[in-house]
């Protein structure tokens, strides 16, 4: 065992287990199948954090014979400008969203600034509707008015890692959500 493994096994507290996430992903997939089955839909993953959740979600959807088109965006928010919320698009969607039903899939809704910006941005591309699905919702941290359409778990004000969520680009690969304690 490397020193790195030892550190995370010792100090990370599991908040949401792998088993609980798997169960939730199945439940969400069933709801999404009901909403999107038979429609021309595009699921937009938000890099990097949303990639694990999106991958698991769409693989569940094959059970419902639902095969959404998949695209990704990458956004960045400037450090230290949390109150003004300066968001930049690093990578935009590449598919034409005209007349498509769009679902944004991300790891976590925190202040809500990034996803509010993205929702407005994608809505301007001629989509029929743009909805939002997040695995985690830190409801108490919201700074702007945005309500997710699909939520896995509401969590408190912890800094969490795993299942796509990172600390300095690491720990995205954990199959569970853990509270990062440094």
Active site residue 107: no
160: partner contacted, choices ligand IMP, Mg ion, none (Cβ within 5-8 A by kind): ligand IMP
Nearer to ligand IMP, 30 or 144 (CB): 144
For ligand IMP, the binding residues in 31-60 under the rule CB under 6 A are 49
Question: Quick one: how many helices (H) and strands (E) in the chain?
Answer: 4, 9
Out of 71, 106, 107, 110, the active site residue is 110
Task: Choose between 64 and 111: whose C-beta lies nearer to ligand IMP.
Answer: 111
Assess 110 for contact with ligand IMP (CB under 6 A).
yes
Binding map of ligand IMP across residues 156-175, x = CB under 6 A, - = no contact: ---xxx---xx---------
Give the shortest CB-158-to-ligand IMP separation in angstroms.
6
């Amino acid at each position: 065992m490397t020193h790195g493994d030892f550190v995370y096994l010792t100090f990370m507290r599991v908040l949401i287990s792998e088993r609980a996430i798997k169960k939730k992903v199945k439940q969400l997939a069933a709801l999404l199948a009901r909403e999107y089955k038979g429609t021309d839909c595009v699921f937009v993953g938000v890099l990097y954090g949303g990639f694990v959740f999106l991958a698991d979600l769409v693989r569940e959807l094959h059970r419902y014979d639902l095969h959404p088109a998949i695209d990704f965006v990458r956004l960045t928010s400037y450090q230290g400008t949390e109150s003004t919320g300066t968001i930049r698009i690093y990578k935009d969607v590449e598919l034409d969203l005209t007349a498509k039903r769009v679902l944004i899939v991300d790891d976590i809704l925190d202040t809500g600034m990034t996803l509010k910006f993205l929702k407005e941005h994608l809505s301007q591309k001629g989509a029929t509707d743009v909805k939002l699905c997040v695995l985690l919702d830190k409801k108490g941290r919201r700074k702007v008015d945005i309500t997710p359409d699909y939520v896995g778990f509401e969590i408190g004000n912890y800094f969490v890692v795993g299942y796509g969520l990172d600390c300095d680009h690491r720990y995205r690969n954990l199959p569970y959500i853990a509270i990062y304690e440094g």
